[in-house]
A = this chain, B = another copy of it.
Amino acid sequence: MMRRVLIANRGEIAVRIIRACREMGVRTVAVYSEADAGAPHVLAADDAVEIGPAAASDSYLKVDALLDAARRTDADAIHPGYGFLSENAAFAARVESAGLTFIGPSSSVIAAMGSKTAARKAVSAAGVPVVPGETPASQDLAAVRASLGRVGYPALLKATAGGGGKGMRIVRSDDEADEAIAAASREATRAFSDGTVYVERLIERPRHIEIQVMADRHGQTVHLFERDCTLQRRHQKVIEEAPGPTVTPAIRERMTRAAVAAAQAVGYVNAGTVEFLLSGDEFYFLEMNTRLQVEHPITEEITGVDLVRAQLLVAAGERLPFRQDDLSVRGHAVECRVYAEDPASGFLPQSGPLLRYREPQGPGIRVDAGVREGQSIGVHYDPMLAKVIAYGENRTAAFARTTRALEDFDILGLQHNIGFLAALLRDPRVVACDTHTRFIEEHIESFVPGYTDEQLHALVALAAVADGSGDPRDPGSGGRGPGFDPFETLNRGVF
């Protein structure tokens, strides 16, 4: 086992990794930018090294500073977390050549999966379905029609040169083909001076389903079932759940087999995620993430496995602590990403002090966070405050528990998206899985602002009473000091 792991990350994932290390008797080194002195991950570790100014490019993304911190603290391994340098093959290579253990796949595998085209080619060769698509051999009508026939309907014509929807046409049958090809080509020529079109199968109302895989250096590759991350906003996952509520045993069997095949095709080692689009019974490879995912906790909740612990064991050269047959799904888990953002103004990130920050508690509720009361949320990093994770015996129980947890989350000092998350969870279409990856964008008015008139009235009533200065009920007058009388009576606030 490693002696001392440097965590090249910050926030909740750094805290989560540090906890796993401590529970395994492995020492930890936190790194932090100037803006993060005093942050929870800094105090959670055995050691902490400042690596530069607030800007990530000058600190958390600075390979030399990270390697220097590892050298100075005698660390023998680096865990990259997610984001930052976690999928940077050059960083992994630098870690490897410094003689340290990179807790993740090898730099060559990261590089192979980092190129979308190369990844598609590799997994396709292993029999994993990818979205059918081709550039017609020539751009004349007959050749494009032939491509459409091979790719299958409904299809999408896209300008090879383009983007932003220009030159894009949906084709649902042979009958529509000629007109659509002409229009797409015309539009593409006008917009990009290049009429070349690419033909791709249109995946309608897809769900985003991803398979967690885990492989050791001894030839064992297992999957840990799927997560459904269909609820996205601008390609950012918002709420994830596991297992996939629409994934039948037959689909699960095929998808997990495909994911393991994809991992084995590239000689994958450590934790990874194979992302698919699922539409009806068909699924298509999207990409492989060669790192721990933000949403890994829901897999931990339904399988009972500690994925970070498994990552450390594998990185140390040990065998996976479980075989495929040991793994099973129990119950249902949901994760909500709580952001400092204002849903009512286009999800504008918010900054400010966490004047009050109290996490929800109770059986089956887990909050992974890297912030604390009193901390100021700045502008330098991702505005995610916490992940609320809830386990329940079934999907209904898990949703109810998640909603309860969101209601019990007390955050004062900045705006957040909890009301938006709660509105999503109670939406009948979300409950019925009548959703797809663009569902939030298409129905955003159902979830924003995320509070009712009654709630607004109640907030005003509370504010009017709580504001009364000099009032014995005023919680601002230092109710938390040592001299505080703990048994204030419930002072009826007639106002």
Give residues in A with beta carbon < 8 Å to B: 15-16, 19-20, 22-25, 35-39, 42, 48, 297, 300, 304-306, 309, 321-322, 328, 330-331, 353-355, 359, 361-364, 366-369, 373-376, 391-393, 397, 400-401, 404, 476, 478-482, 484, 486-490
Given A16-B363, A19-B362, A38-B490, list of 10 further CB < 8 A pairs?
A: A20-B363, A23-B404, A37-B489, A38-B488, A321-B393, A322-B393, A355-B482, A374-B486, A376-B486, A476-B482
Closest beta carbon of chain B to A362's beta carbon, Å: 4
Contacts of A397 in B (CB 8 A): 23, 306, 309
Asked, given contacts A353-B482, A362-B16, A364-B306, whether A38 binds B330 with beta carbons under 8 Å apart, the answer is no
Give complex CA distance A392, B309 in Å. Answer: 11
Min CB distance A176 to B, Å, is 49
- Which residues of chain B have C-beta atoms less than 8 A from A367's C-beta? 361
Q: Which residue of B lies closest to A485 (CB)?
A: B376
Instruction: Please determine whether B330 and A363 come into contact, CB atoms closer than 8 angstroms.
Output: no
Is A393 a contact of B304 with CB atoms below 8 Å? yes
Which residues from chain B contact A331 at a C-beta distance below 8 Å? Answer: 304
| Residues on the B chain within 8 Å of A359, using CB | 361
14 interchain pairs, CB-CB under 8 A: A19-B362, A23-B404, A37-B490, A38-B487, A304-B391, A305-B393, A330-B330, A353-B484, A361-B369, A373-B480, A374-B479, A374-B484, A374-B486, A480-B480
A481 x B482 contact (CB < 8 A): no
Chain B residue nearest to A400 in the complex (CB): B23
Which residues on the B side are within 8 Å of A479 (C-beta)? 374
CB distance from A373 to the nearest CB of B (A): 7
Q: What CA separation (Å) do A359 and B39 show in the bound complex?
A: 18
**Roughly how many angstroms separate A85 CA and B366 CA in the complex, as a whole number?**
32
Contacts of A23 in B (CB 8 A): 392, 397, 400-401, 404
For this chain, the copies found in one complex come to: 2
Residues A404 and B38 in contact in the complex (CB < 8 Å), given A304-B393, A305-B393, A306-B397: no
Contact between chains at A368 and B374 (CB < 8 Å): no
> How many Å from the CB of A388 to the closest CB on chain B?
13
Chain B residues in 8 Å Cβ range of A369? 361
Q: Contact between A363 and B297 (Cβ–Cβ < 8 Å)?
A: yes
Asked whether A306 lies within 8 Å of B363 as measured between CB atoms, the reply is yes
Cα distance A33–B415 in the bound complex, in angstroms? 37
**Which residue of B322, B330, B480 is within 8 Å of A304 (Cβ)?**
B330
Chain B residues with CB under 8 A of A391: 304
Whether the pair B37, A480 counts as a contact (CB closer than 8 A) is no
Q: A23-B401, A404-B22 are in contact. Are A42 and B364 (CB under 8 A)?
A: no
When A309-B393, A363-B366 are in contact, do A42 and B482 touch as well, CB less than 8 Å?
Answer: no
With most chain B CB atoms within 10 A of its CB, the pick from A48, A368, A484 is A484
Chain B neighbourhood of A322, CB < 8 A: 393
Which residues of chain B are within 8 angstroms of A328 by Cβ–Cβ distance?
330
A314 to chain B, nearest CB (A): 14
Cross-chain contact B487 with A300 (CB below 8 angstroms)? no
Q: Quick one: given A23-B401, A304-B330, A393-B306, are A38 and B363 in contact (CB under 8 Å)? A: no
Inter-subunit contact B375/A486 (CB<8 Å): yes
The 9 residue pairs across chains A and B that have the minimum distance between CB atoms: A376-B486, A375-B486, A19-B362, A23-B400, A304-B330, A304-B331, A374-B486, A37-B489, A38-B487
Known: A373-B480, A393-B305. A490 touches B19 (CB 8 A): no
Tell me, rounded to whole Å, the shortest Cβ–Cβ distance linking A85 to chain B.
24
Residues in B whose Cβ lies below 8 Å from that of A487: 35-39, 375-376
Min distance, Cβ A408 to any Cβ of chain B, angstroms:
9
Q: How far is the CB of A16 from chain B (nearest CB, A)?
A: 7
